[in-house]
Structure 1
């Protein structure tokens, strides 16, 4: 059996929870397996090396679940899951992948109408065949069609974290092949797009043979799509296509520029080259008349001979970067190293997996100056938050403050909360209680389908609350599962700029919210940002890199991000209410 990682085990436990829900099994048991799946996926150590006692020490993993994990690690399968699979009609599980379609309704569609695929569901909606079923009116049909669109769009593209981790494993393996002088990924992944189609890997070598041999022999290779001397394509075990191109070392810079894209950016650079009597290709920048190479080995030289400074890949979308580069106005983009802290995180007091001390210690290990704990407030009722619980946590925060980490003065801890913005724009807890928190993040967690005007009023009112410092994951989107809420964003941005309320750039790969196109608009209003992990486990803290990438795509600078500021300046901002 192939090596099994925590994500594989988490997927099996989540599947068991889904199967229980579809078959009408114990709802509490299904939720227990969902929680265990999250705990396993976020566990810092590989489960394959743990004994039975260590497995049950993981929060949410009891003796029965640990037994299934052990069975899966030993045999590659779980008997109870296999039995449940056999009980479910073909196609029903595919239907449950559609956002807004739960397992019970999926089973009803199969039993009553014989629908067993997403395409059949779309056809049935178009033919109005669902309208005779209880619970399937025109509004439900509209939501299902929207969900089908999201599913199909996401099914063709990989999430940013999945693509990045895969590309990094592949490039690391190929970099060790004899004769490989350079290896890196390019394409939309290098530009940090929120989802990625194919992964483009570029390598420099005099002889491509050993690299192609190593590439097709990688453990992640499930299928060789095409094989040649300069380009080979595989499909991985996750279904992602990866293209490897091998170029001569002295063409590296031109190839990186070409294969990074975007298409629109490359059209502009080729136009500039043509006006200068040059030709730009994946091999070189050369003179049209003589064919003499002008630049090829370094990407910086290619841009320099086009009369431009090097343009960061994240900006190469033909959204004004050519003009800014020409005029010397490219921004100095924020970097992950600029972040002094994280202002939106969770612990096991609500839906997180790590304890307060575990999360804070991991933050200290990352070299942060400060770190905010922002567990959910009571209006998210499944978290069962109370004033007594949050005040007890505050005492723990104060006791740990300054005691962790090697930095002088220790990691400074901020006690915060993530509030819920209700449909009227109100938040949990009265003003006098909110005044006791160091930091309040306020987010939309429900009523995602309010009309545009009502949604706009909702966000504007929350932004105007003097105790709200940050609007969390502002569009509330879930990539591939739920589109963003509909609001007049320019009005929201203007309100945030006026009240000095920061907008979050949430780094969770399934959120990346605000999206880069809205970040660009928000910047024009003078909005401030907070790049946060929204971590629910220790490994989640590392996902800040994706939030930084999204911020950079939105042209964000260090000065515009409140968690790049010194603690003194940040505290002054937080006291503004």
Structure 2
């Protein structure tokens, strides 16, 4: 039911507890499996709560929706949405055509690929890149080569349907770990097949700068790397606590990004907001491309891009240098060009 999914979306965007979001997404799944006649009968008889996965609040929302009324719960959430974006931030957000960093329940995301894609399409995206984690990140259920190959088949099947229904596409990708020596944590032959590769450091974040710098430069120089993800690895708030920035020579790393045409990600997650503004300005001065991504692990988080847009606007990022303002054709031509680097 659309109203239940909209409630879940708004709760996710507002960073409400996972259990609350799950209650509405579970109820939406239960409702979707019911015959419409049985659903109406149960709503009239007040027996919706007898169904596993539907509680008092979700049953009331379903009943209100069936009456043709927006649920009160939904109206309350809509009434407390964020203030309108300022003009510069709004202009940057309007220029974006997609999101290059998202996760599904194939790794550590909370929702199926299709649900993430449908939300991206509803937000006005022309494309969304699926970038589940790579094998070494076992805590995030990283994808082995075999699982990644199976995922590519799933995405291909979904895209066949989207091709018949409009211009939206899921682009294949990965958030691949940058290993200690700067190599990438997936078979090169598989990376070759992907549309977009986001390379990120997830381990040994406190290694000395004289070791971290060549590690990151080696990853940036890899012909498969398209985007350098959340470059400092910092956490500024949230349930995982805080974490300081990794130490590296930012001038050297950003010079490498500019040289090899790798985009520096402007990560929009509220607990990351990475890179810090001083480093984002340095990346702009170095002539780097950027991408404004959500790093979304749930559908509602796909609407976090304004966080990155605000930072981009404040730091003088030109919209034309943001790779996800480009058309799908331009984006894929750019990533294909990377693949032919020596």
TM range (shorter): 0.7 to 0.9
Give the equivalent residue in structure 1 for 2:195: 438
Q: Secondary structure of 1:433's match? A: helix
Give the equivalent residue in structure 2 for 1:463: 220
Q: Deviations over 1:447-490 (max 9, x none)?
A: 01100111111111110010011011111111130111011100
Q: Deviations over 1:110-132 (max 9, x none)?
A: xxxxxxxxxxxxxxxxxxxxxxx
Once the two structures are TM-superposed, the CA of residue 446 in structure 1 deviates from its matched residue by 1.2
Q: Do the aligned residues in 2 keep the contact of 1:507 with 1:544 (CA within 8 Å)?
A: yes
Once the two structures are TM-superposed, the CA of residue 52 in structure 1 deviates from its matched residue by 12
CA distance in 2, matches of 1:412, 1:469: 19
CA distance in 2, matches of 1:572, 1:377: 24
Q: Is residue 453 from structure 1 mapped to residue 210 from structure 2 by the alignment?
A: yes
Give the equivalent residue in structure 2 for 1:493: 254
Give the equivalent residue in structure 2 for 1:511: 272
1:520/1:428 Cα in 2 relative to 1: closer, same or farther (>3 Å)?
same
CA distance in 2, matches of 1:569, 1:400: 22
1:348/1:487 Cα in 2 relative to 1: closer, same or farther (>3 Å)?
same
Give the equivalent residue in structure 1 for 2:290: 529
Aligned positions, number: 290
Once the two structures are TM-superposed, the CA of residue 569 in structure 1 deviates from its matched residue by 1.3
TM-score normalized by the length of structure 1? 0.45
Q: Secondary structure of 1:401's match? A: helix
Give the equivalent residue in structure 1 for 2:149: 391
Relative contact order, CA 8 A, sep 6+: which one is greater?
2
1:426/1:479 Cα in 2 relative to 1: closer, same or farther (>3 Å)?
same
Q: Do the aligned residues in 1 keep the contact of 2:102 with 2:130 (CA within 8 Å)?
A: yes
CA distance in 2, matches of 1:485, 1:336: 28
Q: Deviations over 1:70-127 (max 9, x none)?
A: 6999xxxxxxxxxxxxxxxxxxxxxxxxxxxxxxxxxxxxxxxxxxxxxxxxxxxxxx
CA distance in 1, matches of 2:25, 2:148: 32
Once the two structures are TM-superposed, the CA of residue 521 in structure 1 deviates from its matched residue by 0.7
Q: Deviations over 1:27-57 (max 9, x none)?
A: xxxxxxxxxx54x36559489xx59967xxx
Gaps of 5+ in 2: 1-9, 32-51, 59-76
TM-score normalized by the length of structure 2? 0.74
Q: Do the aligned residues in 1 keep the contact of 2:267 with 2:294 (CA within 8 Å)?
A: yes
Once the two structures are TM-superposed, the CA of residue 364 in structure 1 deviates from its matched residue by 1.3
Give the equivalent residue in structure 2 for 1:362: 119
CA distance in 2, matches of 1:405, 1:542: 24
Aligned CA-pair RMSD: 3.6
CA distance in 1, matches of 2:328, 2:160: 13
Q: Deviations over 1:494-525 (max 9, x none)?
A: 01100111110011111111222211111111
1:171/1:384 Cα in 2 relative to 1: closer, same or farther (>3 Å)?
closer
CA distance in 2, matches of 1:401, 1:72: 36
Gaps of 5+ in 1: 12-36, 55-65, 74-165, 173-183, 185-189, 192-311, 315-332
